[in-house]
Structure 1
Amino acid sequence: MRASRFLLAAALAGLLGPLSAPAWSLDLMQAYQAALAQDARIRAARAARDSAIERLPQARAQMMPNIAINLGRNKNDIDRTQENALGQDVKFNEEYFSYNQTLQLRQPLFRMPLFAGLRQAGFVVDDAEATLERELQDLGARVTGAYMEALLAQDALDLVLKQKAVTTTQLDAARKSLEAGFGTRTDIDEAQARLDMNIADELSARQHVEFTRRQLEILINQPVDTLLAVDARRLPLLPPEPAEVAEWIRLAEDGSPEVRALKARVEAARAEIAKARGGHYPTVDAVAQISKSGSENVTSPRSSYTNHLIGLQVNIPLFAGGYVNSTVRQAIAEQVRAEENLEAARRDLAVRVHREHRGVTEGVLRVRALEQAVRSAQQLVTSSKRSFEAGSRTMVDVLNAEQQLQTTLRDLAEARYLYLVSRVRLRALVGMDRERSIREVNGWLSQG
């Protein structure tokens, strides 16, 4: 009997053990590394980069010798009519097989479109590489933003639960005071109204927690259990370095992967113009050929020939119906479009750099101001409770002080998260080391 109970207890322990094990905590660096491997946009950008890289060997291949073999075998059935010595038409029928074999080597010597295409392929690869880097930088900002938004949602829920607990305590105290004969019905109604609002806020906060967790799960393609929170004691409030926004804009002009990609597109468009204009230029190829044929001469059907050929072939375009001129105009228009897109991106980049720079600089000031506001709100709660106990304050005053404290705590948490996200976004815009930025923020999280 004891043995069977022991086995049953062991089996239950084995089943419930994983459920009672401590939850696995996900930090920012782990989330970023998971997103690197799982994010669909990154995989698509990598595939686009790999596809663009193949443009270079394709362009080089068109300038290399081209070797081809042509083989043919044909059955010939010939009806021939010929006058004989008497002037009469005599019909003959001949059937025989003919064949031809050709080995040709063609080496392009001068083809302007091929030279321009080779330069263009290099710029296409540069564009794809820069686009992939831009997506990687953007991924770091997206993961950080989703991570911090999930933390903010959890903090908001925790604050609502704390406020709900405080309000419940105040409601119980108000009811007991009324039963004791020195409370008021208004205090109960006020506390009950606040509690009802807290319950509604809790439902909304729980939904937001689920939504933000889902956003992060989509990025990393794995379930999220618990997230390591930001440790306020380890969080340094550092202004951007360098301090001047103009310097950050200059860094963005030089290092932004988005700008690099658009510059490469401009150069590729210019190469396309040269490629199109190459249609006006002659082409020169060196040709070496060996051909062997048999029974291809009607008059001598049983003869065979072997021909060795080497020389140059020059093709001079004279008129193509205006096709070349049209492609040149089209390529020029594409260049203008690429240049305008580059200019628009530069202007937009300056605005975004300025916004994130302000997010860091003003974030430092806002966090410090809200830290002081939290200390003041805590003091107000303490004073309001003492005054209520002394009879100079009402229950409403205490509830208002508690609500003000929770609101200030929520604003402080939001300010910290926005400050961290702005730091990562600012560095991503100028093309700084993305892993270093993530690792830096990750070092400011609690260690579990």
Structure 2
Amino acid sequence: MDLQQAYQAALQQDATIRAARAAADVGDERVEQAKAMRYPNVAFSAARNRNDLSNTQRNVLGRSVTVDENYTSHNATLTLRQPVYRKSLSVGLEQAHQMRAEVGAQLDRELQSLGVRVTDAYLQLLLAQDQLALARAQKNTTTTQLDAARKLLVAGSGTRTDIDEAQARLDMAVAQELEIRQQLDYARRQLETLVNQPVETLSPLDEAKFAAWTPEQRSVQDWLALAEDSSPEIRQQKARLDVARLEIEKARTGHLPTLDAVAQWTRSGSENVTTPSSSYTNRVIGLQLNMPLFAGGYVNSTVRQAVAEQVQARELLEAARRDLSLRIHTEFRGVSEGRLRILALEQAARSATQLVVSSRRSFEGGARTLVDILNAEQQKELALRDLARARYTYLVSCVRLQALAGGDRDGSIAAVNALLKAP
């Protein structure tokens, strides 16, 4: 599995992405519902009732006479209502579009985050594999040095101290190998959780391709400008601010009248208690005006609430800008200075390797001890480990910087994937 395959699998399997896509579908339906409120509404109602009527009245002689009558009544009504003027509906439609933009930005944010998470998990697994290989090599080297120290002691030219030193280093190497194995298992399960499938073999980093690769060069101000226009986090907060602004306008419509066009057809039978056997057909067409007069201060309260929510959204947007600026500066430094650190660590690794060679030759000449060789081997391992970590951190910083600024996430994943060895 290479990085591109892992990313494509995570796009289909990651639960967070599926939830964000469902939220986007919710936003689409919210827009359709807001549109439907402006369309004609047709309703039909019908009823059929059994009536028991007792009618008491005086006759010509002034005596009360009661007549009991049982009969069935029925009615059917068809109503067509078309909103003519409802300010809240037009505001609600615009608000629904902004809410859809908000969840769309949230989906983009999760997709950018997924690219970073997959890249980080993939490279963390490669780092754990490299560290395990280094730990095993260190253990094998220490084992060899321990055997050599024992032979020298038997031959009469070694010391017990050399054996104890080599044994202590070997015990530490075994403990470190066990710890790295745990890290490797955790890194593997982390990647498997994202792609929702077993991960056996990964494509490793091609050091030759990495040495010749240069990421996209921009100044920090260019990255900040790109983030202001394209960052999903900023777009999400801007959409929330627009929703809050429209909520104020929507709340203020509580003071405004509404006007509907109404057409109604009603057919009823035996619903008049004075003449139960009569039937009626009523056809109505006209305009219906509703004018709010007093609601106990409810509308004013909702307006004040919406204003407070707008202030909250504005401040959250400003906080998001500041936090994003800080993170972009951090990742920019990680990218701009990461290459220099890698070059320095490559030189340190070469020097440590040369130190091991020199220490061995000096030991053969009697100028160095076995402890000097062990120290040189340990220094070499630390240099190689730090170099591997610096390379993977550098690549993650490149992907994270693109994600923070809202850059091409597929392009950044493909760029890192191109640095891996072909299967």
Say if 2:145 is the partner of 1:145.
no
**2-structure distance, mates of 1:307, 1:87:** 37
Structure-2 separation of matches of 1:243 and 1:394: 51
2:363 pairs with 1:392: no
Normalising by the residue count of structure 2, what TM-score does the alignment of the two structures yield? 0.98
Give yes or no for the alignment of 1:41 onto 2:20: no
Deviation at 1:340, TM superposition (A): 1.1
Q: What is the DSSP-based 3-state SS (H/G/I as helix, E as strand, rest coil) of the residue aligned with 2:209?
A: coil
1:330 match: 305
Confirm or deny: 8 A CA contact 1:127 1:265 kept in the other structure: yes
- Distance in 2 (CA, whole Å) between partners of 1:106 and 1:194 is 87
Is 1:273 equivalent to 2:248 in the alignment? Answer: yes
Kindly provide the amino acid, as one letter, of the partner of residue 372 in structure 1.
Answer: Q
The residue identity in structure 1 corresponding to 2:105 is A
Provide Cα deviations, 1:187-242, integer angstroms capped at 9, x if missing partner.
11111111111111111111111111111111111111121111111104656544
**Partner Cα distance (2:343, 2:189) in 1:** 31
The percentage of counterpart residues that share the same residue type is 62
1:77 equivalent in structure 2: 52
Q: After the TM superposition, which parts of structure 1 deviate over 3 Å for at least 4 consecutive aligned residues?
A: 236-243
RMSD over equivalenced CA pairs, Å: 1.2
Comparing 213-222 with 84-93, greater Cα deviation is found at: 84-93
Within the candidate set 321, 327, 335, 1:360 is matched to 335
Of residues 217, 226, 251, the one that matches 2:226 is 251
Q: Which moved more, 1:160-169 or 1:81-90?
A: 81-90
When residues 353 and 437 of structure 1 are mapped into structure 2, their CA distance, relative to the original with a 3 A threshold, is: same
Is the Cα contact below 8 Å between 1:134 and 1:257 reproduced in 2?
Answer: yes
Question: Which residue identity lines up with residue 216 of structure 1 in the other structure?
Answer: L
Q: Does 1:349 align with 2:312?
A: no
**Separation in structure 2 between the aligned mates of residue 240 and residue 349 of structure 1, nearest angstrom:** 21
Aligned match of 1:205: 180
Q: Measure, in 1, the Cα distance between the counterparts of 2:371 and 2:240.
A: 65
Tell me whether 1:110 sits opposite 2:85 in the alignment: yes
Contact 1:31-1:220 within 8 A present in 2 as well:
yes
1:240 touches 1:361 (CA, 8 Å); kept in 2? no
Match of 1:295 in 2: 270
Shift of 1:100: 1.5
Q: What is the letter of the counterpart of residue 64 of structure 2?
A: D
Query: What is the rounded CA distance, in whole Å, between the counterparts of 2:239 and 2:154 in structure 1?
Result: 79
Structure 2 distance, partners of 1:348, 1:239, is 27
SS of 1:182's equivalent in the other structure is coil
CA distance in 2, matches of 1:71, 1:327: 38
Give the distance between the partners of 2:272 and 2:147, measured in 1 at CA.
116
- Asked if structure 2 preserves the Cα contact closer than 8 Å seen for 1:242 and 1:248, the reply is no
Farther off after superposition, 300-309 or 202-211 = 300-309
Q: Give the Cα–Cα distance (whole angstroms) in 1 for the partners of residues 153 and 377 of structure 2.
A: 22
User: Separation in 1 of the partners of 2:415 and 2:244?
Assistant: 40
Answering whether residue 409 of structure 2 is matched by residue 412 of structure 1, we say no
Aligned residues: 423
Per the TM alignment, residue 390 of structure 1 is displaced from its structure 2 partner at its CA by 0.4
Instruction: Give the letter aligned to residue 329 of structure 1.
Output: R
Deviation string for 1:382-409 (max 9, x for gaps)? 1110000000011111111111011000
**Which structure 2 residues correspond to residues 24-35 of structure 1 after superposition, within 5 A?**
26-35=1-10
Within the candidate set 177, 191, 194, 2:169 is matched to: 194
Query: Take 1:209 and 1:316, find their aligned partners in 2: how far apart are those partners?
Result: 70
Instruction: Say which SS state the counterpart of residue 243 (structure 1) adopts.
Output: coil
Secondary structure (helix, strand or coil) at the match of 1:54 reads helix
Tell me, what secondary structure is at the counterpart of 2:91? Answer: helix
Residue range with higher mean Cα deviation, 53-62 or 72-81: 72-81
Partner of 1:402: 377
Cα deviations across residues 84-127 of structure 1 (Å, max 9, x unaligned)? 22222221112222221111100001111111110000001101
Please report how far the alpha carbon of residue 145 of structure 1 lies from its aligned counterpart in structure 2 after TM superposition: 0.6
Which has the higher mean CA deviation after the structures are superposed, 214-223 or 54-63? Answer: 214-223
Alpha-carbon deviations, 1:125-168, whole Å to 9, x = none? 10111100100000000011111111111111111110111111
- Between the aligned partners of 1:162 and 1:91, the Cα distance in structure 2 is 112
Q: Residues 354-412 of structure 1, C-alpha deviation per residue, up to 9 Å, x if partnerless?
A: 11111111110000111111111111111110000000011111111111011000000
State the secondary structure of the residue aligned to 1:228: coil
From 355, 358, 361, the equivalent of 1:383 is: 358
State the TM-score, normalized to the length of structure 1. 0.92
Point out the more displaced range, 433-442 or 416-425: 433-442
Aligned pair partner of 1:215 in 190, 195, 206 = 190
1:434 is aligned with what amino acid?
Answer: R
| Cα distance in 2, alignment partners of residues 301 and 190 from structure 1 | 113
Counterpart of 2:407?
A: 432
In structure 2, what is the equivalent of residue 120 of structure 1? 95
